[in-house]
Structure 1
């Protein structure tokens, strides 16, 4: 009987140290300026993918005449992430750019970084999730 308790205790200790903690995170998107369209949100863990290729988590949300919206994400594992968002106002499934490569539609990044002449990189947008639920505010430009 003592062996069963010892084995169960050892198993509990081993699994508790190796458990991945998941939490609920809410992305609060502001400065929508009462526009309509589809909001595309991507979470990234790989710097080489950020800000537009192969997100780890995605969500697409319809927006209609709102100034801000809260978008919940359940079961986000602890880790380091960067978030990229754009509002597809004409519903063509992409962020439209002008002839100079400047976005014509609203976009944003975690940490609310907006470099003057380029998209934010992963290091600028990166933040940590550490087992607690939280809200990530992102203001669109």
Structure 2
């Protein structure tokens, strides 16, 4: 009986060690892949009387812009603002769309000829002028 218990504990220990190493390995891969990417954050500030159609943004606008970016695009995300980080204060952003791209110059080259179409589409989902931040992922 004692040997079965020891064997069971040894197997459990091996399982958890293997699982832990696999998870660490996956996290490391993610960090390595994302470091150095260019992140373009398109932030839509909250203000009284402003509107935002998330369904349109998710199904029409972001896929349209992503299509312009082609192979340079690694991924994009869409965030819906829920609350401020400080209780009882206004929501800072109604939404944030983020593009992760390999090259800033390729991003700019893809957006430049399509800038008017992108801006014209704003009227289909919002009356907010977005704030755009371009940054580099460091970790």
TM-score, structure 2 length as denominator?
0.33
More strand per residue: 1
Q: Which has the larger radius of gyration?
A: 2
More helix per residue: 2
